[in-house]
Structure 1
Amino acid sequence: MSPPLPTRAGADAQPITAAIAEQAMQWQLDLQQPPISEATLTAWRNWRQAHPLHEKAWLRAEAFAQRMDQVRQQGHSALASATLGPSLRPTLSRRTALKQLAVLLTVGAGAWNARDLALVQDWSADYSTRVGQQRRLTLVDQTRVQLNTDSAIKLRFDQDLRRISLLRGEMLVTLERQSGLPPLSVDTAEGRIETVAARFDVRQTAGVTLLGVYEGSVQVQPRNPGQPALTLNAGEQLRFDRQGLLSRQPQGASQPAWSQGMLAAQGQRLADFLEELGRYRPGHLGCDSSLADLPVSGTFPLADTDRVLNAVAETLHLEVRPFTRYWVTLKPRTLAG
């Protein structure tokens, strides 16, 4: 006997499954391709009425379509068409695009802004990486860029300008001095970094840019007018926001550990370590609040985050508790009865 369908109130409390989200996005795309037959409209109405979660998913699909309309009205019609147009994105199969769009419908409204932004960034970026992916690039001027996990950049290169906009995430830039070319500038939400020759790492976080220089020197200009420029030399790192410098300190590394596929920690709080490791795997990664200040030290390979978790748990005598594959928590180890 099939279980009873949830009531409307019950559906509001239930999450939308990936399968239902894909079905909703499929209907959203199908109804954009005229002529729409009466049979199609009837099937669409029947699908909406078949289960309260179907209607919930459809309402979210409509809301997402409206957001894409707003993007189109703001002058990004190509992006909106690539996102929800009949042809989808040229480099993606329809099935893959549906899966990516469906992710937006399976989360609560509180998570939409960040996910919406990431989706738009990926469609508008020249290069991007997924969670857990890294990518090495050689640009037209021979500048070398390595993108870290979940990152996106946009480029503008011509005779008078060389600019990389870091839309999201982190990158390592290696630039050798070249005569006759303008300085390279890197834009973040908080300001501009400019250099003629350097090796440096830039990371965009919420409201703050993190910058480390490994070779050469760079100049940093915070975004807000009237703020003084800063010069950062090899062996230094800083944090800055739109107003200017937040912190500045030396660094001894010759390159960031992540660029070698490693995650390094030296007495780092467990909560902070897990937040950093969580950048390289989908879902939630955390620990019991009583364990947050436990120190973690070591160098760990990023290719297998499950292995890293198990190693840290074993060292600290903890348990790895997966609620699902995408929701993992470290807990105090329980004694066998």
Structure 2
Amino acid sequence: MTTKQSIDPTILEKAADWLVLLHSGEMTEQQQLEFQQWQQQHPDHRIAIERATRFNKNFANLPNTLNINQLLNSKTTLQHTILKKFIWILSPVVATWLAYQYLPWQLWQADLSSKTGEVKSITLEDGSSLTLGSNSYVNLHFNDTVREIELIQGEIYIETAKQPPKHKRPFIVETQSGAIQALGTRFSVQQNKPSSSTLVHVFQHAVAIAPDQQTHRTILQQGEMAQFDQDHIQKVEKLQQTQPYWTQHILVVENKPLDQVLTEIYRYRHGQYFIDEAAKSIKVSGVFSLRNTQQSIETLAQTYDLKLNYYSDYVLYVSK
């Protein structure tokens, strides 16, 4: 198995500076020449630009302009939220700067990643199967003593492979909350943001959960799920699904708040939604496509009598 090489953060920082200048529209001919020369000075320079460019593709799909006045006049309740969360849509320069400041090197240097809306499956060197959900990033740390996956962002589903009796290596998923060790199993792990909590679903056998700030482990059995952070594990609950349907681009929900359902749909879709308080707690049940998210949103609107107000292809306000 091959993994991506680590690149000096100072090189990545310089790559980000070049990208900001490149998107500014103010790059001179001399600067363009210097940019080309910098890329040719070392292979890591070119790789850093490629990674930064690939990482910023999501931003490139956003509109260059947004009619803020129209937006605020139409929905005064959105004034502060739109100004705070969507000012970066106005300029690709600002978008690149935000990527540089707040979505930095960990994601750029991830060994494996998936795009927004993509579900990607990989066979690991030990024969285990790893599936990445939309917009997910992982690092792989496999050696003679351990098989470890570091989940930086997103969601993964794992089917572990059997190990030779004389050379068994523990299979561990590390998250911001702690460690999950497979006990011969099929399970999924989701790294939630911005809360930094971790959600675990066990579909076969069991896993052992160890929050960073605890000295003991909790065993999660087949058909169970739990959410945990660095300090504690929340109540273990019964798992309603027998398999991770998201690996097939399907979202199956039963009696879930509308806000949670839209959050899951928007993990597979570019843009952002806002929802009226009166609509957040509407209970939703059904099967929805994660491949055609627009159709899923329209189905929700028809089924639950919702109003959909689009302010661009990437900004949606949902109300009752």
TM-score, normalising length: structure 1 = 0.69
Quote how far apart the aligned CAs of 1:268 are.
1.6
Partner SS state of residue 266, structure 1: strand
Quote how far apart the aligned CAs of 1:149 are.
0.8
Quote how far apart the aligned CAs of 1:292 are.
1.6
Per-residue deviation, residues 161-214 of structure 1 (Å, max 9, x unmatched): 211000100000101321223111110011111124110000011221111111
Instruction: Report the equivalent of 2:200.
Output: 211
Per-residue deviation, residues 14-72 of structure 1 (Å, max 9, x unmatched): xxxxxx98532883997486499xxxxxxxxxxxxxxxxxxxxxxxxxxxxxxxxxxxx
Contact 2:131 2:156 in 1 (8 A): yes
Percent identical residues: 25
Quote how far apart the aligned CAs of 1:227 are.
2.9
Matched, 1:190 2:177: yes
Contact 2:126 2:161 in 1 (8 A): no
Quote how far apart the aligned CAs of 1:100 are.
6.6
List aligned pairs for 1:154-233, cutoff 5 A: 154-179=139-164, 180-205=167-192, 206-224=195-213, 226-233=214-221
Q: What is the aligned-residue RMSD (CA, Å)?
A: 3.3
Runs (5+) with no aligned partner, structure 1? 1-19, 37-77, 333-337
Quote how far apart the aligned CAs of 1:260 are.
2.1
List aligned pairs for 1:16-35, cutoff 5 A: 22-24=22-24, 27=27, 31=31, 34=34
| Distance across 1 between alignment mates of 2:26 and 2:159 | 43
Quote how far apart the aligned CAs of 1:275 are.
1.6
Per-residue deviation, residues 251-304 of structure 1 (Å, max 9, x unmatched): 132112212211112122212211221111111123222222222110111110
User: In 2 relative to 1, CA 328–234 (structure 1 residues): closer, same or farther, beyond 3 Å?
Assistant: same
Contact 1:228 1:244 in 2 (8 A): no
| Distance across 1 between alignment mates of 2:217 and 2:123 | 29
Quote how far apart the aligned CAs of 1:329 are.
1.8
| Distance across 2 between alignment mates of 1:327 and 1:268 | 23
Matched, 1:331 2:316: no
User: In 2 relative to 1, CA 240–129 (structure 1 residues): closer, same or farther, beyond 3 Å?
Assistant: same
User: In 2 relative to 1, CA 303–29 (structure 1 residues): closer, same or farther, beyond 3 Å?
Assistant: farther
Instruction: Report the equivalent of 2:134.
Output: 149
Instruction: Report the equivalent of 1:290.
Output: 278
Partner SS state of residue 132, structure 1: coil
1:275 to 263, 278, 281: 263
| Distance across 2 between alignment mates of 1:97 and 1:261 | 22
Matched, 1:263 2:251: yes
Give the total of aligned pairs. Answer: 264
Quote how far apart the aligned CAs of 1:244 are.
2.2
| Distance across 2 between alignment mates of 1:95 and 1:170 | 23
Contact 2:58 2:270 in 1 (8 A): no
Per-residue deviation, residues 291-320 of structure 1 (Å, max 9, x unmatched): 222221101111101100111101112222
AA in 1 matched with 2:135: D
Q: Which structure has the larger Rg over C-alpha atoms? A: 1
Matched, 1:243 2:222: no
Per-residue deviation, residues 228-251 of structure 1 (Å, max 9, x unmatched): 111111111111111121221111
User: In 2 relative to 1, CA 26–151 (structure 1 residues): closer, same or farther, beyond 3 Å?
Assistant: farther
TM-score, normalising length: structure 2 = 0.72
User: In 2 relative to 1, CA 295–100 (structure 1 residues): closer, same or farther, beyond 3 Å?
Assistant: closer
Contact 2:288 2:296 in 1 (8 A): yes
